[in-house]
Each structure stands twice: as C-alpha cells, then as structure tokens.
Amino acid sequence: MSDNKFPPLSPTATPPTWLGVMGGGQLGRMFAHAAQMMGFKVAVLEPSRDCPAGHAADHLIAADYGNEAALAELALQCAAVTTEFENVPAQSLSFLADRSFVAPSASCVSVAQDRIAEKRFFTQCAPTSGVLPAPYHIVAAETDIDTIPDTLFPGILKTVRMGYDGKGQVRVKTQDEVRQAFAAMKGVPCVLEQMLPLAYEVSVLTARGADGESVVYPIAENVHRDGILFTTTVPGPNVSAASAEQAQKAALAIVAQLGYVGVLCIEFFVLQDGSLVVNEMAPRPHNSGHYTIDACVTSQFAQQARAMARLPLGDVRQHSPAVMLNILGDIWFDGDGDQVREPAWDKVLALPGANLHLYGKDDPRRGRKMGHVSFVAPTLEAAQASLHAACAILRIAL
C-alpha cells in the first residue's frame, strides 16, 4: 500500500481517529499521552495486561505480537500503527501494513533488529553520510573465530539480535576469550566490534514524514553506566559545532536512504581525534530523547504521532538547556538490602526546573527503568546544578 493512499488524519474526526502501538512499555505510555493531547485515541497491543502503556491507552489488546486475530483487530480499529520497541516481529508489521498505515515499516525495523544488516546498511550509506561503523567481524560459527584479525582486539562481542541496555555484550581481548563468550551466549550469531578510543557518545534524534520531510533535533551527549543510559545533556558540553553538524547531516542522510517514516534515533561515537563513528539506530523514540518533552517545542512522542497521522512535522527548537537523569529501581533500596522505600520525590520536585516522569511500574527492581527526571533551566550550568542536587537526594553517585 503506497503512502499516497493515506491522506492526513484528523484528530477531531467523528468517529474518533485511533492510532495503534505495538508494545506496552514506557515509550508506548508516553506516546499515548502525547497522541491523546492532540485528540487521538490510542490502542496498544501487548501480551501483558499490566503494562505502562496499557494503563494510559484508551484500549488494550492483550495478545502476543504474532497473534493474527489480535493484529487484525488492531488494524481494523487504527488508521495508523507504530511500534515502541525494535524487537516486535517484522512479519507482524508486514501483516498490519496490508491493512493499515504502518510507520516505521517492517523493512526499516528489520534492519535495526539485526546488527549485521545494520552495519552493512551504514556502510552502504557512507558515501552520502560520511560516516562508517566501527571495524567488525561476524562470528556466526566457531570457525569464524579463527579468522578474527588481531587488529580487532580488544573488542566487544555482541549478539546480532535482541541485545539492549548492555545485555548480550562481552568485552574480549583474545580469540580464546571470544570462544568462551561465544559458548556462554549459546553459539548465537554475534558480531565482534573493535573497541575504539572513545571521547564521548552522542545521539541524534530525527523524524521523517511520509512526504520525505525531515527534521533533526539538537545533539544529545550521553553517559552510560553498566550499559544503561545514565544522563543525557543537551547541549552537550563536549560537542563541538563541527561534530554536531557532521552528526546531524549524517543522520539525515541515513534516514533518507532508509526511506524511514517516524522518529528514529541514531547513536554515534566521537573519538578522541574528533572523528565520528556510527554505532546503532533505534526505530522509535529513544531514552536519550526524553528531554524533548520538557525542553523542546515538539516532543519526540508528539513528533511520532504527527508522522503517523501524515501531519506536518513539529518545530524541533530547544527552548531551554536540559539534563535528563534516568531513574532505576536501585534508588528504592538502601545499599544491598531488600527493603523497599519510597524515594524523596518531594525534595527532588523542590529543585529548580525539575520535571518528574514515572512510568507506572509498581515493582521496583535493581537495574529496571522506573522513570526519569528532566532538569531545564536558563543555563546549562543551572540545569546541571539541579541534577547534582537530585543525585545527592536520591543517593546516586556522580
């Protein structure tokens, strides 16, 4: 079904216009809030009845992502469907696309689901994007380990599929360590990436409409801990104007060549010599883009709704410097104990520019994303001061 068969959707139509989401996590929850603010109704397809997006949606279809009856119900109800995580089966998106407008498409999501396909695609984009992925070697079988060049060590062995938040990744220094890690991963296909002299990481949030219109948000500088995003700072204190321009141009070239529709986040490494390396992409709104809710004219979630509805993309201008702090379940516990306590939200919310976003998860667990706090201020220094104060209150080491 071609895009020209889908006119713009009216958020005030009678009967109401429904937008659908595959996935019930916090990204779906925040999308539902944004779409509802615009006048749309939202349906979510998710196996679990007790899920963050389901709490916010107007309708929850509790079913497996591959359940064709449930998919048909979602497509019948919704004029457009998106996904809130990249591991939804691509074949389910193809099934939906025969019945409704789907953004992003199954072909786009399938590239992001497979590290090999993703790296090959980035390499194909290099003549226009000007960036390449890190040098890598495919390890699909034990015999592939024998041909790993020494120049790739030290490296990181990553599973080709299903890895996120540092999961499915092992640092290795020798072929023997690769063998041990590959065996521990049950011999699933992997990619060995060379570890590079990283200065810092940035993410570039883009949005592209079905008409080819594209926008790019200000560059976000990220800090990770244990493979999970810790803070996002915008504008990035280390990001030069040249690096920002190069990353934005590369992202726009990649999203155009992909033929993408919707919000896409692309992560880049800035090396110590200032050069840029493309790392990976997420075919959805992204954790590092949460600052846009409080610091930009159009949030990443409102942008996703606009792209799905074939409405004009929104203004990406950032009106205030911002720092975003991820909130993990660890702060509900003292030390190594198992006694749950409520964090001092009253003290956090007393800080200048603090905006608390909790995801409706009632089971705090260590390492589980429970929410985030965005700090906006007239200056970046003021936003960072509130961040530091919040970390002290929540007993988060800086």
**What would the two tokens of residue 347 be?**
């003290």
- Do 233 and 380 lie in one domain? The reply is yes
What is the pLDDT at residue 293?
98
Final residue in a domain of this structure, among 152, 171, 194: 194
Residues whose CB is less than 8 angstroms from the CB of residue 4 and which lie 6 or more positions away in sequence, other chains included: none
Note whether 8 and 309 are within 8 A (CB).
yes
Cα–Cα distance between 392 and 51 in angstroms, integer?
30
d(C-alpha 249, C-alpha 234), whole Å = 18
Domain assignment of residue 108, yes or no: no
The reported pLDDT for the residue numbered 164 is: 62
The whole model's pTM is what?
A: 0.95
Instruction: Check which CATH number belongs to the domain holding 26 and give it.
Output: 3.40.50.20
The CATH number of residue 248's host domain is: 3.30.470.20
| Ordered per-residue pLDDT tens for the chain, 398 residues | 334 578 999 998 889 999 999 999 999 999 999 999 999 999 999 999 999 999 999 999 999 999 999 999 999 999 999 999 888 999 999 999 999 999 999 999 999 999 999 999 999 999 999 999 999 999 999 999 999 999 999 999 999 987 665 578 899 999 999 999 999 999 999 999 999 999 999 999 999 999 999 999 999 999 999 889 999 999 999 999 999 999 999 999 999 999 999 999 999 999 999 999 999 999 999 999 999 999 999 999 999 999 999 999 999 999 999 999 999 999 999 888 889 999 999 999 999 999 999 999 989 999 999 999 999 999 999 999 999 999 999 999 98
Helical ranges in the chain per DSSP H? 26-37, 52-56, 68-77, 90-97, 106-113, 115-129, 175-184, 241-258, 292-295, 300-308, 345-349, 380-394
The DSSP secondary-structure symbol of 340 reads B
User: Tell me, what's the pLDDT at 337?
Assistant: 84
Residue 2, pLDDT score: 39
Given this model, what pLDDT does residue 3 score?
A: 47
* 374 is a domain residue: yes
Residue 237 lies in a domain: yes
Residue numbers in the known binding site are 115, 158, 163-169, 193-196, 201, 224, 279-280
Tokens of 15: 């009967």
Do 188 and 204 lie in one domain? The reply is no
Give the number of residues written for the chain.
398
Q: 156: phi > 0 → left, psi -120 to 50 → alpha, else beta; which?
A: beta
CB 103 within 8 A of CB 93: no
User: Would you put residue 395 in left (φ > 0), alpha (ψ -120 to 50) or beta?
Assistant: left
Q: Specify whether 354 is located in the same domain as 331.
A: yes
Question: For position 163, what pLDDT does the model report?
Answer: 64
- Binding-site residues for ATP: 115, 158, 163-169, 193-196, 201, 224, 279-280
How far apart are alpha carbons 344 and 361 in whole angstroms? 17
Domain that holds residue 253: 198-394
Q: Do both 186 and 149 map to the same domain?
A: yes
Structure tokens at 345: 């939200």
Query: What tokens does 377 get?
Result: 């201020």
Please state the domain count of the chain.
Answer: 3
The pLDDT score that the predictor gives to residue 353 is 98
Handedness of CA 50, 51, 55, 57 (dihedral sign): negative
Is residue 26 a contact partner of residue 286, using CB atoms and an 8 Å limit? no
Same domain, residue pair 188 and 228? no
The backbone torsions φ and ψ at residue 8, rounded to the nearest 5 degrees and listed phi first, read -60, 145
Examine the domain organization and report whether 297 and 375 are in the same domain: yes
Query: Do both 308 and 180 map to the same domain?
Result: no
Angle, vertex CA 167, rays to CA 166 and CA 170, nearest 5: 80
Pairing relation of β-strands 155-159 and 136-139?
A: unpaired
Reading the block at residue 397, the tokens are 């080491």
- What is the rounded CA–CA span in Å between residue 241 and residue 258? 26
